Amino acid sequence: MIDQMTVLSFAHFVQGPAAAQYLADLGADVVTVEPPGGSWERRVGSGGIRLAGRSVTFLSVNRNKRSIVVDLKHPDALTVLRPLIERADVLLENYRDGALDRLGLGYEAVRAIKPDIIYASASGWGSRGPMAGRPGVDLLVQARTGLVDVTGNRPTAAGTPVVDHHGAALLAMGVLAAYARKLTTGAGTRVESSLLGAGLDLQAESLALYFSGRRTAADLARPDELACWSIDAPYGVYRLRDASVVIAVHGAVDELGDALGSPVLAAYDQQARRAKRDEYTAAVAEVLGAMTYSEVAERLGPRGFWFERVAGYDDVRTDPQVAAEGLLAEFDVDGEPATVLRHPVRYDGELPGIRTAPAELGEHTREVLRAAGFSAAEVDGFLAAGVVA
């Protein structure tokens, strides 16, 4: 898709590496510049979970890339990096604000080397305002953007770092837009994304409804079963005798009581369901709590209601729809299979493949530097001096 794009990635943790992985999946030549000890997600990763000695966090966000090691604090680091920057379309980074400037790799310095560079930065809080430069990670952003407050009836974080991954997708989108501009005008672009923006973007509809609808904090309160403050009951999650089920809004909600065999529910029209939302939700919960999932499916399925069993990760792994879409993939890590999510978008009916497994630390240092025009002797000199590894 974007085979001609070259990306120099100074990224660590999840947001930056995942953004670069999206671009690599689409065919970009992504060269990841790691410090001598390796990036955080390679060295540590989440929960210390490892496979064949490798961090699984690293394995999940670094496929289809090449790895070089450069000590950015070494006085000769820019000598090594300059020809790589000159050949790159994109420099992608998610260092703390000002960190790369101090190393001579800030936007203005890089643009002086490569005037048409696409310089893409991901930060926690953005580059302006009182929070600029402060550490920003997924959970802090979930808290500050209201996501924790609006999730559940008591403050509850999402069960996975959703802001990190949405932020990665937004950063990749920004790079692709800038690349389209470069191909048509020849101009470079300064691209900036933040976890703050991503956390708010995840709530675009909810925020618009809240502010434009002149709602107050009291409007966010709801029964535990309801999934969203702004969507009519019974939209939510309900316990059954043998499982949990979600019920989404459907045009035939007036028929739900008949479908479930409940005259009590059938007595609520739309106006009553809104005016007595909490009472109605409790009644739905009571009816469903006495039923099994198969009973619910038999009653609601033929009538076209939207519902689904709540799955666990073990269910996801064997889900026939997930399998049909080919969304999980495996690759070998020293004889052990690593299971990861594939690029989730199809192009002409196909998902981008896993061309290469995540690289070993510095695996491509010689290869990349030789391609950048350095002689074998020069590369040996850099290695001996500790500029690269």
pLDDT, one tens digit per residue, over 363-378 is: 999 999 999 999 999 9
Per-residue pLDDT at 120: 98
Identity of residue 54? R
Whole-angstrom Cα distance, residue 23 to residue 3? 10
Q: Is 164 a catalytic residue?
A: yes
Closest CA to 254 of 270, 235, 234, 274: 270
On the question of pLDDT at 249 being above 90, the answer is: no
Per-residue pLDDT at 79: 98
Whole-angstrom Cα distance, residue 176 to residue 180? 6
For 340, counting Cβ atoms within 10 Å of its Cβ (0-12 exposed, 13-18 middle, 19+ buried), the class is middle
On the question of pLDDT at 103 being above 80, the answer is: yes
Q: Looking at beta carbons, which pairs linking 220-223 to residues 24 or more positions away fall under 8 Å?
A: 220/149, 220/150, 221/153, 222/153, 222/277, 222/278, 222/281, 223/153, 223/277, 223/278, 223/281, 223/282, 223/285
User: Distance between the two ends of the chain, CA-based, in angstroms?
Assistant: 31
Closest CA to 241 of 286, 277, 275: 286
Beta strands in 286-327 (DSSP E): 307-309
Q: What is the largest CA-CA distance in the chain?
A: 85
Residue 312: CB partners within 8 Å, gap ≥ 6? none
The kind and range of the H/E element at 68 are strand 65-69
Per-residue pLDDT at 172: 98
Instruction: Determine what percent of the chain is predicted with pLDDT higher than 90.
Output: 97
How sure is the predictor about 237, in pLDDT bands with cuts at 50, 70 and 90?
A: very high
Per-residue pLDDT at 205: 98
Instruction: Determine what percent of the chain is predicted with pLDDT higher than 70.
Output: 100
Per-residue pLDDT at 44: 95
147 Rama class: left (phi>0) / alpha (psi -120 to 50) / beta: alpha
pLDDT digits 0-9 by tens, 315-329: 999 999 999 999 999
On the question of pLDDT at 332 being above 90, the answer is: yes
Q: What is the mean pLDDT of the chain?
A: 97
Tokens of 328: 């999980």
How long is the chain?
A: 389
Residue 259: CB partners within 8 Å, gap ≥ 6? 299, 300, 303, 305
- Give the domain ranges of the chain: 6-202+345-385, 244-309
On the question of pLDDT at 381 being above 80, the answer is: yes
Peptide bond into 234 cis (omega under 30): yes
Q: Tokens 């000590």, residue?
A: 71
Per-residue pLDDT at 18: 98
Per-residue pLDDT at 22: 98
Whole-angstrom Cα distance, residue 193 to residue 190? 10
Whole-angstrom Cα distance, residue 158 to residue 154? 12
On the question of pLDDT at 384 being above 90, the answer is: yes
The answer to whether the CB of 103 falls within 8 A of the CB of 72 is: yes
Identity of residue 373? G
Question: CA angle 295-309-274, nearest 5°?
Answer: 85
Whole-angstrom Cα distance, residue 131 to residue 153? 28
- Distances in Å between the alpha carbon of 222 and those of 77, 127, 217, 249, 339? 56, 36, 11, 16, 38
Whole-angstrom Cα distance, residue 65 to residue 92? 13
The answer to whether the CB of 104 falls within 8 A of the CB of 110 is: no
Q: Which of 25, 164, 258, 319 is catalytic?
A: 164
Whole-angstrom Cα distance, residue 76 to residue 387? 6
pLDDT digits 0-9 by tens, 109-166: 999 999 999 999 999 999 999 999 898 999 999 999 999 999 988 899 999 999 999 9
On the question of pLDDT at 97 being above 90, the answer is: no
Per-residue pLDDT at 152: 87
Per-residue pLDDT at 55: 98
In this prediction the pTM is 0.96
| pLDDT average, residue stretch 267-282 | 97
DSSP codes, 126-172 = -SSSTTTTS---HHHHHHHTTHHHHSTTTT---SS-HHHHHHHHHHH
Closest CA to 99 of 196, 217, 16: 16
Per-residue pLDDT at 250: 72
CATH value of 6-202+345-385 in 1.10.760.10, 3.40.190.10, 3.40.50.10540, 3.30.70.270: 3.40.50.10540
Per-residue pLDDT at 133: 86
